[in-house]
Amino acid sequence: MNPPIGIISMFYARPFLAAHFPLFERMKRAGMDFVELLVPEPGELDLARTRDALRDAGLGVVLAARVNLQRDLASDDPAAHAAGITYLEYCVDTAAALGAQIVGGPLYGAPLVFAGRAPTPAVEAQRLPRVDRVVAALRRVGGRAAAQGVRLAVEPLNRFETDFASTTAQGIELAQRVDEPAVGLLLDTFHMNMEDGDLPQAIAQAAPHLVHFQANECHRGFVGTGHVDWTGVARALTRAGYAGPITLEPFRRSEQRLGVGLAQWRAPTEDEDTPLAASAAFLRAALALARQEQA
C-alpha cells in the first residue's frame, strides 16, 4: 500500500481554528489522507472537538511543532531550554489527545532567519554542550512520547533556518546519539534539495530512522512543478520500505511581483485544490510505479 499523503494546515489558514473545521472535508475531497496540524497553542483549539471533526471527515492527523528562541532545546539560556522541554511535552500530550502518533519539526530549536537571528561562527566550546543539551532533552521527551504511543520526528532544516542540523547526515548523527526508539527523523525534500547532494542516497541512509516525510518542490510550489527528481525520491522511499505519512506543504503562491518576499507566509488568494490534488496523484503514481518496479 502507498504511504498516506496529507497536507499541512497552513496551506489553507494560519492560525488554524475551529472556524476552519469545514476545510477538513475539502482536504479529503482533494485526495488527502491526513492533515498535518501546527500544534495548536493553548486555547486555539478544543482538542476533543478537533478529534471529532477529523474523524467525521475521515482524516488522519500528524502534528508539526513550532519552536522559537523562547522555547529552544539548543539554547544556553536555562529558561529557554526548560521551556523547550515543557513545550515538547505539551506537544506529545496534545498528540495523544488528538490521536496523532507523530510530532515532527525542528525539535532541537536553534532557529535562524525566522527568529531574525543571523548565522554566527560555531565555537567548539559552545557547540559540544549544545549538542549534549539537545540529545538529553530529546531522550527525556522521547520517553514520555513512547509511553503514549507517540514518536518524535526530528527535521533537519536548511542552513538559513537553523544552525544546528541541516544535512541528512547531521540528522542521522543526532538520531543515533539520542538512541531512543521513539525519536526518529523527518526528511523534507525542500531542505534536502539545498543540503544533500544525492537525495535518493540520503533517504537510503536515513531509512532506519525515518518516521515522517515531507514532499516539497525545490521552490515550495506544487510537487511536480519544479526540478526535484520525484521518480528518484519515490524509488528511494519504496526501497527503504517507508510506509509512514508524506505531507505536502506548497506554500508558494503563484504571484511573483517584484519586492514580494517568498519566505513570508501568505494566505491563498485562489482555489488551489486542483493543483494540490494533481500533486498528490502525481506522487501516488510515482510511488505505485516504484512499487511495481521493485515487486
Among all residues, which ones are annotated catalytic?
A: 155, 249
- Residues 32 and 163: their CA atoms lie apart, in Å, by 33
Nearer to a copy of itself, 45 or 165 (CB): 165
C-alpha 287: how far from chain center: 20
Minimum Å gap between C-beta 133 and a copy of itself is 10
Q: Minimum Å distance from CB 52 to a copy of itself?
A: 34
Pick the binder of a copy of itself from 78, 125, 227, 295 (CB under 8 A). Answer: 227
Compute the distance between CA of residue 60 and CA of residue 51 in angstroms, rounded to an integer. 9
Query: Can residue 260 be called a binding residue for a copy of itself (CB under 8 A)?
Result: yes
| Sites for a copy of itself among residues 82-121 (CB under 8 A) | 112-121
Give the side-chain half-sphere CA count within 13 A for 238.
21
Q: Which residues contact 101 (CB under 8 A, 6 or more apart)?
A: 62, 95, 149, 150, 151
Instruction: Find, among 141, 48, 46, 56, the residue nearest to 103 by Cα.
Output: 141
Q: How far is the CB of 8 from a copy of itself (least distance, A)?
A: 17
What is the C-alpha separation between 277 and 206, in angstroms, rounded? Answer: 28
Q: How many CB atoms lie within 10 A of CB 134?
A: 26
Q: Residue 52 or 76: which CB sits closer to a copy of itself? A: 76
Residue span binding a copy of itself (CB under 8 A) among the ranges 14-22, 234-242, 262-270, 276-284:
262-270
What are the Cα distances from residue 179, in Å, to 63, 206, 237?
A: 22, 14, 22
Nearest CB to a copy of itself, comparing residues 115 and 288: 115
Residue whose CB is less far from a copy of itself, 120 or 292: 120
CB closer to a copy of itself, 16 vs 190 = 190
Does the footprint of a copy of itself cover residue 125 (CB under 8 A)? no
DSSP, collapsed to helix, strand or coil, labels residue 187 as strand
Q: Which is nearer to a copy of itself, 46 or 173 (CB)?
A: 173
Closest distance to a copy of itself from the beta carbon of 103 (Å): 21
Rule CB under 8 A: say whether 130 interacts with a copy of itself.
yes
Whole-number Å distance between alpha carbons of 275 and 278:
5
**Residue 279 sits in the site that holds a copy of itself (CB under 8 A):** no
CB 99 within 8 A of CB 150: no
Binding mask 136-175 for a copy of itself (x = CB under 8 A): ----------------------xxxxxxxxxx-xx--xx-
Of 188, 125, 184, the closest CA to residue 162 belongs to 188
Closest distance to a copy of itself from the beta carbon of 40 (Å): 22
Give backbone dihedrals phi and psi of 277, rounded to 5 degrees, phi first.
Answer: -65, -40
Answer yes or no: are the C-beta atoms of 39 and 102 closer than 8 Å. Answer: no
Write down the least CB distance from residue 161 to a copy of itself, Å: 7
Residues 3-62 that bind a copy of itself (CB under 8 A): none
For residue 190, with 0-12 CB atoms within 10 Å meaning exposed, 13-18 middle and 19 or more buried, which class applies? buried
Q: How many residues bind a copy of itself (CB under 8 A)?
A: 56
Question: Interface residues with a copy of itself (CB under 8 A)?
Answer: 74, 112-122, 127-128, 130-131, 158-167, 169-170, 173-174, 177, 193-199, 217-219, 221, 225-227, 229, 256-264, 266
